[in-house]
Structure 1
Amino acid sequence: MLFVFIRFSRRMRDISILNTRKGIPIASDRTPKLINIADRTQDNLDSAKLKIAIYSHDTKGLGHMRRNLLISGKISSSFSNSSVLLITGSREINRFRIPEGVDCLTLPSYYKESDDNYKSRSLKVSLDEIVTLRSSIIKETLKSYSPDLFIVDYAAKGGLNELNKTLKYLRKYSSTLCVLGLRDILGDPKYVLKEWNRKKIVDFIDDHYDYVWVYADPGVYNMCEECNLPEQIQSKITFTGYLGHTDLADYKEKRNKYLNFDFSSKKIVLCVLGGGQDGIVLADKFAETKIPRGYVGLLLTGPYMSSKDKDRLRLKINKNPGIKLVEFIPDPIKLFNDAERIISMGGYNTVCELLANKKKALVVPRVNSRREQVLRAEKLSAMGLVDTILPHELSPEWLNEWLKKDIACTDSRSQINMDGLSRMPVLIKSIISENMAKQHNYRDVLSL
């Protein structure tokens, strides 16, 4: 018996060493994830009944939710028997097309105010109460759903730490693989490191996540180098490429559903504000801009712009016949293909869309302490892919001159990896296959 125990101990030590490798480290005090592989081999994963959950807190804007919708759509189209559960804090998800094989759990919502404080959006309860409620819902849902893979967008601990209990449970009791998905730029490196140190994010990621996917090309911005991330985080990171989205299926037939005016005889200048809650400066300047002859301006406000701001914009646009106002389109990519030029803020999703569709673009980034959008705009402008100007430098006259200026359209795909979406199924198959191999090795040890 002693001889068998020694063999077992040595074998477990060897597996621990072999499983610690760049990209997928396994802590020495943890056994491999024992996923249910009864109906799965590395050759039949495409048709396996995979269960995946994807989370975003969605306390401000549409970016996190839209990114997860893109990913869920790619997963569902690539794995025919997959089920994807989107967990979101935004009820606006009901205004978007939900892919086949995907369903949604909408949490009671709270939102971030301009001073970075949070508040319940609808329920007349305290912030602590709504966070506790959301935390319980998420944990009990994932305990019951038991996903093979859990992808968390941006916030490692969830909004206001609401994922802490869930991730601890999954780590201790489940076979779920956990992935943290990050956009290209989190913010100014000094800000990121300060926040991560204050919130002890590095140790938390190391303890609770198997992988970190950065939806970006390190040739544009290398998060590992810029933020000087420690080795235990770098070893988990895979740069997927940007999530370029160009799917325009059925768009021509559906266009009139979104727009009640004909613009077929004119070139389109599209001004996009993302969710719209902080785009009023750009919107005001665009609404006052004289649009060159032969063009029509479309101002897309987004669902979160206040009624007061929209009313003010309508008054301006009523005096400017060259511009039309569109309040909301579930997927603005439907207009990107038709637009001759695009003026936008510097959010990740919008920038991905204008790059993927090879558009002449002006990026007017949001300016705040994080400087995320400013850094993104500066990097892309330095590569000659977009023009950029800061909001306080912008004027209707400047916009008019930019619209009249001859601009070459650069193919971003020759300079930037935009294949993040198409790579997603490959990554998922890879990590599940690798974990299956670990499981087989572990079961071999148990049979000794």
Structure 2
Amino acid sequence: MIRILLAEDEPVLARNIARSLERMGAQVTHAPSAAATRAALALGSFDLAIADISLGDGDGIEVLGDVSDKLQGTPVIVMTGEDSVDNRMRAENLPVAAFLTKPFALSRLREIVGALTRMSAQSASPATGPSVVMYSHDTIGLGHMRRNSAIARELVARVPGLSVLMLVGCPAGMVFDPQPGIDYVKLPSLAKLGRGVFQAGSLRIDAETTRAMRARIIEGVLSTIEPDIFLVDHEPAGAMDELRPVLEGLRDKAHVRTVLGLRDILDDPARTRVAWAEGGTDRLISDFYDHVLVYGDQRFFPSVEAYGLEVLKPGAVTECGVVTTVRQQVRPPSPRAPSRIVVSGGGGRDAFPLIEAAINAAETLPNRCRPRLTVVTGPLMDAELRSEALRIGAVAGVEVLERVSDLPALMGEADLLLTMAGYNSINEGLAVGCPIVTVPRLGPSSEQRLRAEALERLGLARYLRREDLRPETLARIMRQTPPRPNPQSLKMDGVRMAARILARMIGEVRHPDRERAHA
């Protein structure tokens, strides 16, 4: 247990700080005065000292200076209502790690305390805590990174001291809120021109140079961290096969587990199996991956059989269920046409035709029956097209946003969701019980078309073909009573299942004897 000395003469602030730190598992000794601080240091040692400069009967910096021999390198956090140059100069002879100017957020104090205590623990023992590296190549959308992000958040909540480093290729970088224990490394962006054909996304260099840079970064990260688990999303060999040498290097490292995460629908099954056989991807999965996580439900799409994963060794594949952080909700059916419609472009790279048609459709409706329309373009839409969406939205009186902090909450308030058929957008809409009309991407993959067909077959969403995407068609849909999806039969707890499996693997790597005993 971490022992903390808190020298603070304001009783309310001291109580709040102590309670906050005790929730972290710390043992806090409160010294309400300079004299009490001296007495506490005379009686025992501490892992960390937090001291206010003004202690009523003395000066906190002077008190700690007088007993510096008792601190013996113990890190100190100084709190003050006056963060002046003079005060900082007076503290130069103390091991001051941080200055906090009042008022400050307790979350900020906890963050600093956590970092300092981790540093102390690492200096006492060079062993590092558990770690996971996640790879999401992300070219045209955000799906791969969103799945990994959801699993990462669940993992750090399950595994004490876990660090997750995400390798992301998304042009917008890490677009989700940061969280303690999770960070990311940005790989040079790629643009997908066709099936298996890439070019540099932003840099004016050739594709092979981009691949070489990405591969060196990935290799450098893995050789430096040597994680317990390397989780790869969607692309078994990585974009342009950049992971092949990495996976070969990890094969002989018994302390690293390699895991492949696959969404339920990849592409046309027959085409995928042929491509995997011709490119050696099927052998790569069998030879280099310890486990495969399928982020889907057999009742929605038979992924294991469709992509030939049943030939892997017994126990090597787990069907996790749908990966989404949204808690499943049930809403009663609406007896009327939608009054609130959300149009989501997912990442937004190729969503402009849907957004333009939806805005034009709303503009054709009479004011008395026009629904409130909120359009979310997505952060990856080209700036020129986003500007055009904003322009036509302003003319039509439609709210157009680049992104929102909580899209599922917006869906939860809507009577209808118009979206493409991306994995995350669809499953978030299903989870909140929002009626859905899908307009799937035309290609180069068949994934979205197959998802739209499966949704319509199960009565979970209406499928609007791209050739039928016209303002007049959408206007009719906007005036109809929407069907209510019922995804209750689908497994929607994929995040927890995937995190549970990965946490167990970390335990097997870290404590093999104990895990065998529990088996």
**Class of the TM-score when normalised by the shorter of the 2 chains:** 0.7 to 0.9
Mapped partners of 1:231, 1:136: distance in 2: 33
Mapped partners of 1:211, 1:331: distance in 2: 32
Inter-CA distance 220–86: structure 2 relative to 1 (3 Å threshold) = same
Is the contact between residue 111 and residue 119 of structure 1 (CA under 8 Å) also seen in structure 2?
yes
Equivalent position of 1:69 in the other structure: 149
Shift of 1:341: 1.3
- Given candidates 349, 359, 377, the residue that maps to 1:277 is 349
Q: Does 1:144 align with 2:224?
A: yes
Equivalent position of 1:358 in the other structure: 433
Q: Which amino acid aligns with 2:389?
A: L
Equivalent position of 1:297 in the other structure: 373
Equivalent position of 2:165 in the other structure: 85
Shift of 1:120: 1.7
Shift of 1:387: 1.1
Q: How does 1:23-422 map to 2 (within 5 A)?
A: 49-113=129-193, 117-229=197-309, 231-232=311-312, 236-246=316-326, 267-290=339-362, 293=369, 295-321=371-397, 323-412=398-487, 414-422=488-496
Mapped partners of 2:505, 2:268: distance in 1: 31
Mapped partners of 2:240, 2:406: distance in 1: 28
Shift of 1:142: 0.8
> Does 155-164 or 325-334 show the bigger shift?
325-334
Identity of aligned residues (%): 28
> Helix, strand or coil for the counterpart of 1:172?
coil
Equivalent position of 1:44 in the other structure: none
Q: Does 1:428 align with 2:508?
A: no
Shift of 1:426: 1.9
Gaps of 5+ in 2: 1-127, 329-337
> Helix, strand or coil for the counterpart of 2:292?
strand
Q: Which amino acid aligns with 1:372?
A: E
Q: Name the Cα RMSD after superposition.
A: 2.6
Mapped partners of 1:285, 1:150: distance in 2: 42
Is the contact between residue 171 and residue 380 of structure 2 (CA under 8 Å) also seen in structure 1?
no
Shift of 1:72: 1.0
> Helix, strand or coil for the counterpart of 1:84?
strand
Mapped partners of 1:315, 1:383: distance in 2: 38
> Helix, strand or coil for the counterpart of 1:269?
strand
Q: Which amino acid aligns with 1:390?
A: R
Q: Which amino acid aligns with 1:71?
A: I
Mapped partners of 2:412, 2:490: distance in 1: 20
> Helix, strand or coil for the counterpart of 2:400?
strand
Equivalent position of 2:24 in the other structure: none
Is the contact between residue 54 and residue 151 of structure 1 (CA under 8 Å) also seen in structure 2?
yes
Mapped partners of 2:416, 2:516: distance in 1: 56
Shift of 1:213: 0.2
Q: Which amino acid aligns with 2:419?
A: S
Q: Which amino acid aligns with 1:169?
A: G
Deviations 1:306-345 (A, max 9, x none): 2332333334323322x21112235522422222211100
Deviations 1:349-396 (A, max 9, x none): 111110111111111111225311111111111111111111111222
Larger Rg: 2
> Does 104-113 or 182-191 show the bigger shift?
104-113
Gaps of 5+ in 1: 1-47, 249-265, 444-448
Q: Which amino acid aligns with 1:365?
A: P
Q: Which amino acid aligns with 1:109?
A: S
Inter-CA distance 245–218: structure 2 relative to 1 (3 Å threshold) = same
> Does 49-58 or 180-189 show the bigger shift?
49-58
Shift of 1:422: 2.0
Mapped partners of 1:380, 1:146: distance in 2: 41
Shift of 1:113: 2.9
Equivalent position of 1:9 in the other structure: none
Q: Which amino acid aligns with 2:392?
A: K
Q: Which amino acid aligns with 2:300?
A: V
Deviations 1:136-162 (A, max 9, x none): 111121111011111000111111111
Is the contact between residue 295 and residue 319 of structure 2 (CA under 8 Å) also seen in structure 1?
yes
> Helix, strand or coil for the counterpart of 2:500?
helix
Is the contact between residue 76 and residue 99 of structure 1 (CA under 8 Å) also seen in structure 2?
no
Inter-CA distance 311–114: structure 2 relative to 1 (3 Å threshold) = farther
Equivalent position of 1:32 in the other structure: none
Shift of 1:437: 7.6
Shift of 1:201: 0.6
Mapped partners of 1:67, 1:137: distance in 2: 22
Q: Which amino acid aligns with 2:448?
A: Q
> Helix, strand or coil for the counterpart of 2:230?
strand
Is the contact between residue 273 and residue 301 of structure 1 (CA under 8 Å) also seen in structure 2?
yes
Shift of 1:435: 5.6
Is the contact between residue 74 and residue 424 of structure 1 (CA under 8 Å) also seen in structure 2?
no
Is the contact between residue 322 and residue 492 of structure 2 (CA under 8 Å) also seen in structure 1?
yes
Q: Which amino acid aligns with 1:184?
A: D
> Does 379-388 or 324-333 show the bigger shift?
324-333
Mapped partners of 1:305, 1:120: distance in 2: 17
Shift of 1:61: 1.5
Shift of 1:122: 3.2
Is the contact between residue 224 and residue 234 of structure 1 (CA under 8 Å) also seen in structure 2?
no
What TM-score do the two structures reach when normalised by structure 1? 0.78
> Helix, strand or coil for the counterpart of 2:396?
coil
Is the contact between residue 146 and residue 174 of structure 1 (CA under 8 Å) also seen in structure 2?
no
Shift of 1:110: 2.1
Q: Which amino acid aligns with 1:313?
A: A
Q: Which amino acid aligns with 1:244?
A: T
Shift of 1:173: 3.3
